[in-house]
Amino acid sequence: MRELQPDSILDHDRLAAITGGSEMLAQELVRSLVEEARVLAVELRRVASAPDATRAGDLAHALKGIAGNVGAPRLQRAAEAVEERHRSGGVPTLRSVDRVDEEVRALAELG
C-alpha cells in the first residue's frame, strides 16, 4: 500500500479499493466526481456571500462527502474549511471558495 502524501489530489489506494482495481471504473468515478463537484462548486460560489449562508454549509458538506468517498483529500479539506466557517457562524471567505474551485480544477486535470 502506498503512503498517502498530504498534498495528494487522489488517494489511489482508496480509489482502487472502491473500484476493485478497475482502472476504467476509477476513471469514470473521477469523471463523475469532477462533474458533480463542478456543479456544487458553482452553486457554492453563488450562495457563499448570501445573507443566509445555510445553503453554502450544505453544499460544502456534500462536496466534503463525495470527495471523501472517492478519495480526494485536498478537495475534502477545502470543502471542510468552508463547512467549518459556516458552522462557526461565519460566511465562507472568497479565498476558501477559490480553494474549492482550485481543487476541482486539479481533479479535472487528472482526467
75 is in which domain, residue-wise?
12-110
Q: Is the pLDDT of residue 2 over 50?
A: no
Is the Cβ–Cβ distance between 45 and 97 less than 8 Å?
yes
Query: Is residue 80, in this structure, part of any structural domain at all?
Result: yes
* Closest listed residue to residue 69, CA positions, set 110, 96, 41, 32: 32
Query: Is residue 75, in this structure, part of any structural domain at all?
Result: yes
Summarised one tens digit per residue, pLDDT across range 47-67 is 887 766 688 889 999 999 999
DSSP conformation letters of 27-54: HHHHHHHHHHHHHHHHHHHHHTTSSSTH
| Arithmetic mean of pLDDT, 89-100 | 87
Compute, in degrees rounded to 10, the torsion defined by CA atoms 83, 84, 88, 94: -70
Looking at the structure of the chain, the number of domains it has is 1
The percentage of residues in the chain with a pLDDT greater than 70, rounded to a whole number, is 90
pLDDT at 75: 97
Query: Is residue 88, in this structure, part of any structural domain at all?
Result: yes
Q: Is the pLDDT of residue 1 over 60?
A: no
User: CA–CA separation, 69 vs 20, rounded Å?
Assistant: 14
Residue 23, domain CATH: 1.20.120.160
User: CA–CA separation, 93 vs 86, rounded Å?
Assistant: 10
